Amino acid sequence: MGWEEKQVRGYPEFVRTAQSYHGRPIFALFCGDKDAEGRSWCPDCVTAEPIVRKELHNLPDESVFIYCLVGDRAYWKDPNNEFRRNLKLTGVPTLLKYGTPQKLVEEECFKAELVRMLFTED
Amino acid sequence: SVQAHKEEDNPQKTMEVNGLTPVLDSYDYDLIVIGGGSGGLAAAKEAAKYEKKVMVLDFVTPTPQGSSWGLGGTCVNVGCIPKKLMHQAALLGQALQDSRKFGWQFTEEVQHNWMTMTEPVQNYIGSLNWGYRVALRDSKVTYENAYGVFVGPHTIKATNKKGVEKLYTAERFIIATGERPRYLGIPGDKEYCISSDDLFSLPYCPGKTLVVGASYVALECAGFLAGLGLDVTVMVRSILLRGFDQDMANKIGEYMKDHGVNFIREFVPIKVEQVEEGTPGILKVTAKSTTGDQVIEGEYNTVLLAIGRDPCTRKIGLDKVGVNINEKTGKIPVNDEEQTNVPYIYAVGDILQDKLELTPVAIQAGRLLVRRLYAGATTKCDYVNVPTTVFTPLEYGACGYSEETAVEKFGEENIEVYHSNFWPLEWTVPSRDNNKCYAKIICNIQDNERVIGFHVLGPNAGEVTQGFAAAIKCGLTKEQLDNTVGIHPVCAEV
């Protein structure tokens, strides 16, 4: 049964979705909100997204890829937002393997090699 | 001295590599590093900077209890890092007690939860393991989680945890396989005892613990376990901290005894039996005196063995490539350029004979070695005046000669020892010991009273010692020290 993608927005929806897939490998990409034309306020997210998407076919079977929009720029800049506080995110884009210390932050997400390593190796 | 390695004629032609016969002058890699610890990773990353094709092989054979860990070696996973964090946990416990005297009011007694501490410690270690993998991949260093064994000249066999074997060749090798805790060789040791390899990821509180050994590992672990509120006993065969200044070692022991650690001196365990299963269970330890016939017994939840560490050099095929090791200790003798008796095989880190077993030493040696190999550098690793710190409840920092070694080398009449007790200001208000902290310097009278040994026992000893190590490297004399105005009020001003 390959892998599947879920798109969510905001912290509560992310947590609910992650919990509903408990027991399966969960990978998540956190990006800034997109405007009506589909462009994110976060330029690094714009760069990273296609690179990450190109590696999705490497995801292990049964895994879930959660694409999560975190909020607008003002929300993200608040040092107390729930993503920073609870998930310890320090920047967007962040690509992580949920429930492990394995993550790639900002420019690390631009490197296909590293994305592939995150998806395929233990 | 380096002996020339005599290669048999055309060794490569007699070997198969994945069905193909390898050509001598085209190796798979410029450098293969065996061991992904402090020394190995530093060397690998440095070599990648010079655009060399590098592979790192790292594999952790699980402990008898089944513990294992990720890339990074002893320091990161089961050494310095978790040790210092748990030492900090114990110090915070002490600070909580002191805080009442400084006006903080809380009525409940404070308890410690082992799992609450170990979870973030292990998560941090996990992030370091991941960080190393990212760093290696980013530097284009190939990393394989596989056990490397030499099978012939320039050739290594790597076996992963699924048993899949691959052969690789390299122009040069660096052995950085490190060490693992030694067991006693008595009934019940492997079945029931744990070591430092298990302690930092133990999934339950160790409870009443017997620590066997008097190494810094034993005393540091005993120290923080007691600091967390556990009932701790240390069983010592003879002296504390062999190799360290004995005057300081005894002061450390006294402090620990005054602060609730029990010591059983001049006994060795001869048998460990299980009384009750559990996490933790109950173990019965039988021990015999080293000075007579007396036999004693005791019951503990956990028995932690910390009697020494042995190099991982016996099962890596060194005989196949002719690398000499010290048969008794397993250590590898090298020249001052970290080269073994086989010219294309080098070694760094804890496995080296007669060198200090410290992370920064391994890192420095690994980096400088690689710079000499690939960047035309000539600097050799300086093993003299390396500072260290023992993170016992009362920390001990040292750099240079112990008093005994100085007397032995220079003669008692040629050295002068200046010493002082001191009372940290922060300890006054909570009425903590006023005569336990101590500092001494050992000076060489014949050489302008050059400071050749620095020892300090007190809080933040590591932070204090680092600066003095630099001064000693510059040739600090007693007069220069006297002319340096102190910072007040800090312990270091003494």
* C-alpha to C-alpha distance for B203 and B316, rounded to whole angstroms: 31
Residue A42 a catalytic site member:
yes
B466 assigned to some structural domain? yes
* Whether residues B295 and B337 fall in one domain: no
Select the residue of A102, A111, A113 nearest B130 (Cβ to Cβ). Answer: A102
Please report, for the domain that includes residue B275, its CATH number. 3.50.50.60
- In a shared domain, residues B50 and B160: yes
Token pair 């310890």: residue: A88
Q: Which of B307, B340, B359 is the last residue of a domain?
A: B307
Do B162 and B223 lie in a common domain?
no
Residue spans of chain B under pLDDT 50: 1-17, 19-23
What the block records as the tokens of A104 is 């790639």
Same domain, yes or no, for B33 and B166?
Answer: yes
Rounded CA gap, B97 and B102, in Å?
Answer: 10
Q: Are residues B52 and B162 in the same domain?
A: yes
Largest CA distance in chain A: 39
Residue B204, domain extent: 182-307
Query: Is there a domain that residue B205 lies in?
Result: yes
**C-alpha dist (Å) from residue A24 to A15, A107, B345:** 14, 27, 45
Tokens of A107: 């420019």
| B153: in domain | yes
Confidence at residue B4, expressed as pLDDT on a 0 to 100 scale: 40
User: CA B365, CA B180: separation in Å to the nearest integer?
Assistant: 20
Instruction: Tell me which chain A residues have a C-beta less than 8 angstroms from the C-beta of B129.
Output: 101
Q: CB B493: neighbour CB atoms within 10 A?
A: 12
| Domains along the sequence of chain A with CATH | 4-120 (3.40.30.10)
Instruction: Give the per-residue pLDDT at B134.
Output: 96
CATH code at B470? 3.30.390.30
C-beta of residue B78 within 8 angstroms of C-beta of residue B196: yes
State how far Cα B258 lies from the chain centre. 26
B84 annotated to a ligand binding site:
yes
Measured in angstroms, the CA of B285 and the nearest CA of chain A are apart by 39
Query: Tell me, what's the pLDDT at B433?
Result: 83
Size of interface A-B (CB pairs under 8 A): 23
- Asked whether residue B385 is domain-assigned, the answer is no
CB B306 within 8 A of CB B181: yes
The DSSP result for B319-378, as a single string, is: HHHT----TTT--B---TTSB-SSTTEEE-STTBTTS---HHHHHHHHHHHHHHHHS---
Contact B245, B398 (CB under 8 A): yes
Both B49 and B166 in one domain: the answer is yes
| DSSP letter string, B92-121 | HHHHHHHHHHTT----SPP---HHHHHHHH
Of the residues B292, B307, B322, the one at which a domain ends: B307
Alpha helix ranges (H) inside B228-274: 246-258
At residue B18, the pLDDT reads 52
- Is B292 within a domain? yes
Per-residue confidence (pLDDT) for residue B25, from 0 to 100: 65
B237 three-state secondary structure? coil
Nearest to A83 by CA among A12, A2, A26, A34: A12
| Structural contact between residues B217 and B196, judged by C-beta atoms closer than 8 angstroms | yes
H or E element that contains B302: strand B302-305
| Same domain as B201, residue B162 | no
Output the CA torsion sign for B30, B36, B39, B41: positive
- Residue B12 domain flag: no
Contact (CB, 8 A) for B179 and B215? no
Same-domain pairing of B299 and B322: no
User: Cα angle at B301 between B296 and B302, to 5 degrees?
Assistant: 85
Q: How many C-beta atoms surround the C-beta of residue B326 within 10 A? A: 13
Do B198 and B321 reside in the same domain of the chain? no
Identify whether the C-beta of residue B195 lies closer than 8 Å to the C-beta of residue B64. Answer: no
Identify whether B381 is part of a domain. Answer: no
Pair B243, B328 in one domain: no
CA distances from B54 to A23, B57, B137, B171 (A): 37, 10, 11, 10
Asked whether residue B216 is marked as a ligand-binding residue, the answer is: yes
**Of B262, B280, B307, which residue is a domain's last?**
B307
Query: What does pTM read for this prediction?
Result: 0.89
Nearest CA in chain A to B125: A101
Residues B359 and B463 both lie in one domain: no
In the structure encoding, which two tokens stand for residue B61, read together? 């054979």
Residue A12, judged by CB atoms within 10 A of its CB (0-12, 13-18, 19+), counts as exposed
* B133 vs A: CB within 8 A: yes
| Any domain includes B465 | yes
Burial of B218 (0-12, 13-18, 19+ CB in 10 A): buried
Q: What is the pLDDT of residues B377-430, one digit of tens each?
A: 999 998 889 999 999 999 999 999 999 999 999 999 999 999 999 888 888 888
Residues B202 and B165 in one domain: no
Would strands B29-34 and A103-105 be described as parallel, antiparallel, or unpaired? Answer: unpaired
Question: Strand B267-276 to strand B282-289: parallel, antiparallel, or no bridges (unpaired)?
Answer: antiparallel
pLDDT in tens, B432-462: 888 889 999 999 999 999 999 999 999 999 9
Residue B172: which H helix or E strand, with range? strand B165-175
* Chain centre distance of CA B45: 21
pLDDT for B491 equals 79
Q: What is the pLDDT of residue B424?
A: 86
Count the domains in chain B: 3
What is the pLDDT at residue B435?
83
Is the pLDDT confidence value at A104 over 70?
Answer: yes
- Tokens representing B238 are 């003879």
Pairwise CB contact (< 8 Å): A117 & B129: no
Question: Tell me, what's the ipTM?
Answer: 0.88
Find chain B residues with C-beta within 8 A of A111's C-beta: 138
Q: Is B66 annotated as a binding residue?
A: no
Name the token pair of B406: 């100085």
**Cβ–Cβ below 8 Å for A102 and B137:** no
Selection from B463, B470, B469 nearest residue B487 by Cα = B463
